[in-house]
Amino acid sequence: MCGIVGYVGAEQAAPILLDGLSRLEYRGYDSAGVAIYSQGKVRVAKAKGRLQVLSDMIQGGRAIQGTIGIGHTRWATHGAPSDVNSHPHVSHSGNIAVVHNGIIENYAELKSFLQSKGVPFVSETDSEVVAQLVEYFYQGDLLEAVGRVLHRIQGAYALGILCCDQPDQLIAVRKDSPLILGLAEGANFLASDVTAILRHTRDVIYMEDGEVAVLTSQGVQCYNSLLQPITKEVSQVDWEVDAAEKGGYEHFMFKEIMEQPQALRRAVFPRIQDGEVYLEDFALTDEDIRGLSKVYVVACGSSYHVGMVGKYHLERLLRKPVEVALASEFRYMEPIVDEHTLVIVISQSGETLDTMAALREAKRLGAKVLAIVNVVGSSIAREADEVLYTWAGPEIAVATTKAYTTQLAVLNLLGLYMARRLGTVADEEYTQVLEQMLLLPAQMEEVLEKQSQIQYLASQYFNHESIFFMGRNVDYTLGLEGSLKLKEISYIHSEAYAAGELKHGTISLIEDGTLVVAVGTYGPLFDKALSNVVEVKSRGASVLALTTQSQGERMAEVANDLVTIPDTHPLLLPSLGVVPLQLFAYYVALHRGCDIDKPRNLAKSVTVE
């Protein structure tokens, strides 16, 4: 969701801002803009549409000279996508320019107040009220004015603020929306994501909620919510610039699908040592684990589907009740949570607002909170009691792939670790699963070698406008993820059903030519999966089936088309089974000519409710 970049230094700002914004395109946006201090005033250029429209308008940044500025890619929340509603927003005098991620919840009240004072507004956005309010309070001290504004606005926000009267400084503000500071020699940056500034620096400061920072070319000073100076730790980003670039692939999504074996190796191999699960700096004690009465898994989107798989796996391993909750619902369902509950929150970005709110609610209720996240130093990682990183590397495509597989691997390792301490997993099975986990990346490479076959199948089925996924047990949860991938990037109506529910209504939707993707990898229920395939085929469906190599011959007798995955321990089948579903979604979207990395209306990191 929305991207922010700010720069102050000795170089021309506009080209740097455009480059930074280009690296935030994956977050999703509908317009873009920049504000540069140039020749005594703030010059603003902004446009609806792709970033290239803005870049062409200002000749790649050459048309606006100046060494300090802020830039933004907007994803509409208040006000339709338009040039006027695009950021940056400027106060009525033109003295203050603001970029904003998030939502100002009380903007209507503040707007009415300012209008009563004669302040004119030009946009439909909630964000413009920040620029107008800063000017209203400004009396020569920009930091003081910003502080007064922060006591009046409510909601979630990351702000970048530029003022004509103080053209040597930017102000950054963060509350419930990600914002980082980048430090370089003779220049400093602010950004909503480290990918925007990685070409210029690896030294970053992660801002906490309520903090404010003043950036000049010579340094950065951070303040707490009372505007008292504070000292912040400088962190180093340890992944390479090319990890966030396509590297010759046509799309980031395909690149990230192909990166999954290596991502699994990073997530798994260091955590299996001498035949045991090793979780470094893990403070949850054996006594804590034995004292748990319940586990919650809380997440959104694909991470929620990881939790759905995890419910089956964790209950089997731990013999404790496990509930899975959508993060957006968790706060409002009055969950039964106490000090004997472990709440596992899962997020790729570590900034998902609903998941963050669920984490805080769980902690308020006394639960222990463990986070599984990818982004080191993210808000969720910092606020959780425990954190396990997936080490997947940067994920740029909106439709997640390697985050899903690494989250699932880490959740499996956590389950085995806890089961070992509870004595609820047999030694033989424990050893077998760990041995199979070490083979998983190589087996995944085998699956990826089937890409030509899956591309051909996509060419046969891409013109369907409604597709159904069905499966039982973990195959049902796998179908949920396959269906989500397909609808996210191909815009095909797609639904996933527990196969046993077909007779309870769903089968009425099956008619001649309907495509059903039948997932049947789970051995104990394979015969039932086979019967469901026969059932939908008798109603005229075309069936594309996914199963294991050992069951492939039987499935081939009833399905129209078949893809197989290597046999492995049942706990690990979803890790392999998701890959053909990802590839199928990718190739279907490719055949349909869709914008795969930036699907319409979607954002990578959802930082508003």
CA distance 317 to 412: 9
Kindly calculate the radius of gyration of the chain based on its CA atoms and give it in whole angstroms.
25
Q: How far is CA 67 from CA 216, 266, 481, 583, in A?
A: 11, 40, 46, 44
Helix runs in 322-423, H state only: 327-330, 353-364, 379-383, 402-422
Active centre residues (catalytic): 2, 604
DSSP annotation string for 221-283: EEE-TT--EE----EE--S-GGGGS-TT-S-HHHHHHHTHHHHHHHHHGGGEETTEE--TT--
Work out the angle between the directed axes of helices 573-591 and 474-490 (0-180°, nearest 10). 20
List strand residue ranges (DSSP E) for 96-146, in order. Answer: 96-104
> Do the Cβ atoms of 165 and 214 come closer than 8 Å?
no
Task: State the amino acid at position 164 in one-letter form.
Answer: C
3 state SS of 502: helix
Q: Are 373 and 272 contacting, i.e. CB atoms less than 8 angstroms apart?
A: no
- The label of the residue with tokens 């309870």 reads 504
Q: Output the furthest CA–CA distance in the chain (Å, rounded).
A: 79
Q: DSSP states of 554-586 as a string? A: HHHTT-SEEEEE----GGGHHHHHHHHHHHHHH
Which of these, 306, 365, 308, lies nearest to 331 by C-alpha position?
Answer: 365
Cα–Cα distance for residue pair 562/556, rounded to 1 Å:
6
Burial environment of residue 167 by CB neighbours within 10 A (0 to 12, 13 to 18, 19 or more): middle
Residue type, 446: E
Token representation of residue 376? 């080191």
Q: What gap in Å lies between CA 112 and CA 133, rounded to an integer?
A: 11
Q: Give backbone dihedrals phi and psi of 493, rounded to 5 degrees, phi first.
A: -65, 125
Q: How many CB atoms lie within 10 A of CB 53?
A: 14
Question: d(Cα 525, Cα 84) in Å, to the nearest integer?
Answer: 57
Cα–Cα distance measured from residue 574 to residue 299, given in angstroms and rounded to the nearest whole number? 18
C-alpha angle with apex 310: 306 to 312, nearest 5 degrees? 130
3-state helix, strand, coil in the chain (%, to 5): 40, 25, 35
Supply φ then ψ for residue 463, to 5 degrees.
-90, 5
